[in-house]
Chains A and B, each alone.
Chain A
């Protein structure tokens, strides 16, 4: 439904977006994932119509919406700081967009009540927004952006200011509410766990560019570049010329390796026994460290050549300091050009 084509934007000298192209399907939740300053908020603002100085195309259902001012787009935007109107009560905040639509009082009242119910804030209508907790504010902000039935909902770090414990649960809850409302949504976050929980598709951004645009599982299993892999917390990334690991990536060199500067050994592609998959290498290592995560181990081992490898395995029948063989699947070795 939404198409962004070659959008570029700069704040003065600083380029914030570079030829960004993305699409969003009807009813889909797209997650813009990336470190702060990667341009994801700017992209949201361009879509919302809040930024007007940019190059490229923004089209909604095939129609160019670039000249359309923000207040006519009917896109909901939930701000990182929630941007609740401090002079209005909870109910009046939620009703704000409805009033702009010119709805009559009664219908506004009904709609506000049903939204309060949906976000779990029944009975707080007349509360002063300043007196709400962070989680409550987040819900009011969500209810407010949902209220006018937006054609597209955008959420900028909606859980950013909440503590980590709440996030996982709230992220799922958010997804539930968006899906229940049948909305298309763009969700901005820097937290991959949140992104996996919410997104139908992920767009990983860095320095104003989209590095990878795919389903969450695909992004995790097959990061498109070293940046994405690193951003997702993977550490087995080595330079192709690194002699310590020359024996780990297998012998076969195909097209994917021409021009490759680095390669990743995916932490899920290593095992303590030869698996069914085609192998790239078998290497003898000494276990440095192991953490039981409940259901699996995160472990670090080093090779005789001095390379350190992180891997995840279901079972780890070795003690720290002991030596063992590690089997690396060919699939787990991915060359990157960056």
Chain B
């Protein structure tokens, strides 16, 4: 009986692996194949071209440059705030911190548009400044500049960096600092000898994460930068979709995959250093009483509020204000399907597509992610391999995935090219690492003695799963579900490749609307972005609330 149960477990364990092999490894191998054997024969001309052309080297250099710049600016802003936040408590701190993570789940198209609405040529700020100083030109010229790309990357990554560093600092506590103070350390040596060395692992970890996100940034650069600011990602897309140079796109993808792999390896090694006890030291925070402390705290809160709310409010304002008047016509037009539009379906129908795909991807990613987490935790021969393996999709850009899908999955037996299934599948793949990363800590936090106690109390393996593991994983699962859902809702890079006809998702629709000449489409894209913003925020809230109410009800 035990033998049979083991066999069954092996089959279950193999499900996520099989999924990964078919929908990740196989498409990637197809890319590799295409890059080194473009016409069926071994041919490295794609690589030769890549490595011998200044232009593509320039793309690579620029990718690294903008990522480094984004990382630097993000850390520079987040580091002081992390110290302030770890140090002081104030009312609404946790709300603010969780609100600050909102950008992380916001789709790139929405964010790009939000910044266009705020800082763009016809943006709110330009309008306001022009009206204020009666200018006949736009004082802020940020469209298609590196500056706006960096600003948006900071918007995206600020909260991530802030949270990593704040939680690390809170866990470390300030006792060392106080000890140093007692030993006569002045402010300068506190920074030099205590604070900076202490925060270094978190700084490194946050920095790498921001670097990785900026390195793979696609939608933001595609929409706000254009081809002049092409990163590897954008270049892959251009080469595949515009130039139809698939071997070159494949070669670029390979460079991308290898770079990301290297970055991920470095990142996971820094993660190990970060594994601190998660004991909370709330008692160590204090109220900001001195004027300096209040100023520091106020600046940080102000920075977050400005960074977070200004663009989103601008987006909402732009979508409902037409010539200074409140007008919901932009929204009403979303429900109409017209043949004159750029889309095969009414824009609003894409909301339904997105919701449907997001739910499917969420369910699939939850189930596969849960099994994969157990596999990783099983400490078997497979598990050592499984951990990095399941993180690979995170290290692979969505654009590369989408590209791999369309070149690999268009022949029997996996003829998914024309099927809508390809979208939830690609989203599942992208969401899977998020689910695993959310579930794994909860899973690891369950002491094995709990399961053993249940066992000695007569619980069968299935009982243990249902009565011990799942309830205790509730929070991790809910967090994973949130991630999967929002990641799927906002997924852009892969969808742009694979979404077809009736199955287009909200971000793809927004992108298509932006590209359409004419003011009406622009307004429609704003309205659509607001819809996506609301759907994402709504989904986020819904799952958060289900999580609170639902623990123990599985």
Contact = CB atoms under 8 A, between A and B. Distances in A.
A81 B457 contact: no
Contacts of B447: 81, 83
Interface stretch (B196-204, B300-308, B465-473, B516-524): B465-473
A83 B460 CA distance: 17
Nearest to A69: B2
B456 interface: yes
B172 interface: no
B341 interface: no
Chain A: interface size category: 20 to 34
Looking at B455, B458, B467, the one whose CB has the most chain A CB atoms below 10 A away is B458
A48 B472 CA distance: 24
A71 B460 contact: yes
A100 B453 CA distance: 12
B458 A79 contact: no
A101 B458 CA distance: 7
B471 A70 contact: no
Contacts, number: 69
B467 A76 contact: no
- For A72, A83, A144, the residue with the greatest tally of chain B CB atoms inside 10 Å of its CB is A83
Interface in A71-111: 71-77, 79-81, 83, 85-87, 96-97, 100-101
B43 interface: no
B449 interface: yes
Nearest to A48: B456
A223 interface: no
A83 B449 contact: yes
A145 B449 CA distance: 13
A144 B551 contact: no
Contacts of B552: 87
A275 B187 CA distance: 75
B327 interface: no
Given A69-B2, A83-B447, A77 B456 contact: yes
Contact of A71 (B2, B455, B467): B455
A87 B472 contact: yes
B452 interface: yes
Contacts of B453: 77, 79, 83, 85, 144
Contacts of A148: 457-458
Contacts of B164: none
B472 A75 contact: no
A261 B141 CA distance: 93
A181 interface: no
A73 B456 contact: yes
B452 A79 contact: yes
B454 interface: yes
Contacts of A144: 453, 457
A62 to B, nearest CB: 22
20 contacts: A48-B456, A49-B456, A50-B456, A69-B2, A69-B455, A70-B455, A71-B456, A71-B460, A72-B458, A77-B456, A79-B452, A86-B472, A87-B471, A87-B472, A87-B474, A87-B551, A97-B458, A100-B463, A144-B453, A144-B457
Interface of A: 45, 48-50, 69-77, 79-81, 83, 85-87, 96-97, 100-101, 144-145, 147-148
Given A83-B449, A85-B450, 12 more contacts: A50-B455, A71-B456, A71-B463, A74-B458, A79-B452, A81-B449, A83-B453, A96-B457, A96-B459, A96-B467, A100-B460, A148-B457
